[in-house]
Amino acid sequence: MIDRILATAITEAHIARRNRWVAIAVLLMVVFSLVLAAAGSAATGALGADRLSVVVASLTSLSVYLVPLVALLMSFDAVAGEVERGTLPLLLTYPGARWEILLGKLLAHLGILALAIVAGYGAAAVAAIATDPRAAAGLPALWRLTWTSVLLGATFLCAGYALSSLARRPSGAAGLAIGLWLGLVVLYDLGLLAAIVADDGGVFTTRFFPLALLANPADAFRLFNLAASEATAAAAGVGGAAASIPLWQSLSPLLAWPVAALALAALAFRRVVP
Amino acid sequence: MTTTLTISALTKTYDGVRALSDVSLHVAAGERVALLGHNGAGKSTLMKIILGLIAADTGDISVCGAAPGSMAARGAVAYLPENAAFHPALTGMEQISHYLRLRGEPASKAMGLLDRVGLGHAAKRRIGTYSKGMRQRVGLAQTLIGAPRLLVLDEPTSGLDPVSRRDFYTLLDGLASDGAAILLSSHALTEVEARTDRLLILSGGKMVAQGTLGDLRREAALPVVMQLTARNGFAPDLMAALPGLGQDLRISCCQADKLPTLARIAALEAKIADLDVMPPSLEDIYSHFSRRDGQ
């Protein structure tokens, strides 16, 4: 079983390398992180926080958009592409369960995503520490951001596999993936904001709003990192909400979502008839 | 001989359309069986059911003593899909290594397999740069992994040149003599005729004939055609002497009348320059059976 999962992972890594996904993901994360590190340096003096903590706060806001996007771009083709190329029937006649195939793909894609995240955040950290000797104080926050980003990536990779299985055509899967990204990462927060404004401090704001934030893996990621970071004050937006939600509450969905998304993907893949 | 594949009373319906009805067949170890039929006759559906990719509605199937699609069955069965496709970004070597690992074999055997199908020189090139015939040979290479007890091959020689086809059937003979059961579909009737032990003909989802070519020839009882060549000027004499002989000096007769007809022709030896006897071709036999039901 382990051998078969690794076999799939090795092959997927070859494919991702050839298709330049490794290069694209790493480049994207490094460039954006460095831009933030450079831009973030202007405000530090006034806030009194070390430079790296400020960069981490900025990176949190960046990653919540970028990590799900890169993850979905890497994963939307995983099943639909096999169906379209006609490679799926043969693959499914080989020994091994379907979830093993998904897990192999996940291992490869998550490895690449982790590499890109480490390269990007690492570059930003080097830039911050090089210009501010106090910046080492922000390293724990950076480490927390790194592993939560990998968990966030795993969630959206698995969501991509689920959509890929449901769509069965790469074009359809791409559309669904962009839809999911817009929905969870962009529109979800706007919707909540509109609801709060309309509710004006009523039951929704006090009871359902925190739950709604935690239900979305992207928001849980942002809450956890901002609540844990010392630079909460430096971040605009949900910083206030972050302070009122205990850490374990924002951590639980971060841990649960990758597992749940993988289970959903496996269920959807099982229903694909080659 | 032990039976590797047994199917009895198999039925499959797609949206109310009968794709397969009451199909029964068996393939023994070491036997090479050809599955013939028009496009849409149900060949691919039958193969996918044997492989466990789709489920049958009713009927019993035993693949190497296990249920189709079970781990035991998948471990013992090799499949070559029609128009074998692979990820274009992978090299032949990487693709075969992947399949080897999935079957629990060391990836180091990949080069040997590619050499066996004549792809050793292209092993490090991407499959995207391969011709159709080369992709087909990658497909063949992966069917040779391990020691499959049943090979299910969907039009295995499509896209192969004549020399590669011959090499392919030589490979198959080797596998069969090692005890593998082989079920292959093909449109190339002449090569199937020479290189398989038994034929199955599917038509409209029904098994309309099965047996050796000799069995089918006898069962079909198609007429034998004899072509005469007259000595100079004797053609009208021949036509007068042999009722049924056409202007083109061809005469056809049923199997039972073959020898009496030959005797009558032999009696006219002085007027005949040459004689060709043409038994019904496999194409004729195939058309006979596949048209008989419903087509």
Whether the CA torsion A92, A95, A99, A105 is positive or negative: it is negative
Does the beta carbon of B81 lie under 8 angstroms from any beta carbon of chain A? yes
Residue of B nearest to A18 (CA): B89
Lowest mean pLDDT among A3-17, A114-128, B129-143, B239-253: B239-253
Query: What SS3 string covers B236-285?
Result: HHHHHHCCCCCCCCEEEECHHHHHHHHHHHHHCHHHEEEEEEECCCHHHH
User: In the prediction, which pLDDT does A57 show?
Assistant: 84
Instruction: For A34-76, write each residue's pLDDT tens digit.
Output: 888 887 655 545 456 677 888 888 888 889 999 999 999 999 9
Per-domain boundaries in chain B: 3-218, 223-279
Partnered with residue B272 across adjacent β-strands are B230
* pLDDT 10s digits, B183-195: 999 877 777 877 8
What pLDDT, in 10s, does the model give residues A81-104?
A: 999 998 999 999 999 889 999 999
Which tens digit of pLDDT belongs to each residue from A163-212? 999 998 999 999 999 999 999 998 988 888 888 888 877 777 777 887 88
* Element spanning A196, H or E: helix A188-199
Which chain B residues are closer than 8 Å to A94 by Cβ?
74, 99, 102-103
Q: Does A202 touch chain B (CB under 8 A)?
A: no
pLDDT of residue B8: 85
Q: Looking at this predicted complex, what is its ipTM?
A: 0.85
Q: What are the residue ranges spanned by the domains of chain A?
A: 2-270
Q: What is the pLDDT of residue B67?
A: 87
End-to-end CA distance of chain B: 35
Q: Write down the pLDDT at residue A41.
A: 57
**Do the Cβ atoms of B86 and A4 come within 8 Å?**
no
Bigger pLDDT: A153 or B132?
Answer: A153
Say if residues B147 and B178 touch (Cβ distance below 8 Å). yes
Answer yes or no: do A14 and B54 touch at CB < 8 A.
Answer: no
**Is residue A132 classed as helix, strand or coil in its secondary structure?**
coil
According to the model, what pLDDT value does residue A230 have?
52
Average pLDDT over residues A253-270: 92
As assigned by CATH, the class of the B3-218 domain is: alpha beta
Nearest CA in chain B to A4: B102
Specify the pLDDT at position A236.
Answer: 46
Q: Is A255 on the interface with B (CB under 8 A)?
A: no
Establish if A23 touches chain B: CB-CB under 8 angstroms. no
Percent of chain A with pLDDT strictly greater than 70: 90
Query: Using a CB-CB distance cutoff of 8 angstroms, which residues of chain A are in contact with residue B101?
Result: 3-4, 6-7, 10
Q: Is the pLDDT of residue A242 over 60?
A: no
Best of A11, A12, A101, A270 to disrupt the B interface (most B CBs within 10 Å) is A11
Residue among A11, A87, A95 whose CB faces B94 most closely: A11
User: Percent of chain A, pLDDT > 90?
Assistant: 49
Cα angle value B236/B238/B242 (rounded, 5°): 125
Q: Does A244 touch chain B (CB under 8 A)?
A: no
Residue B212: name the closest of B41, B6, B34 by CA: B34
Residues of chain B with pLDDT under 70: 1-2, 292-295
pLDDT value at residue B193: 76
For residue B188, which phi and psi values (nearest 5 degrees)? -85, 85
Q: What is the pTM of this model?
A: 0.85
> Which of B71, B81, B89 lies at the smallest CB-CB distance from A19?
B89
Tell whether B74 lies on the interface with A, counting CB pairs under 8 A.
yes
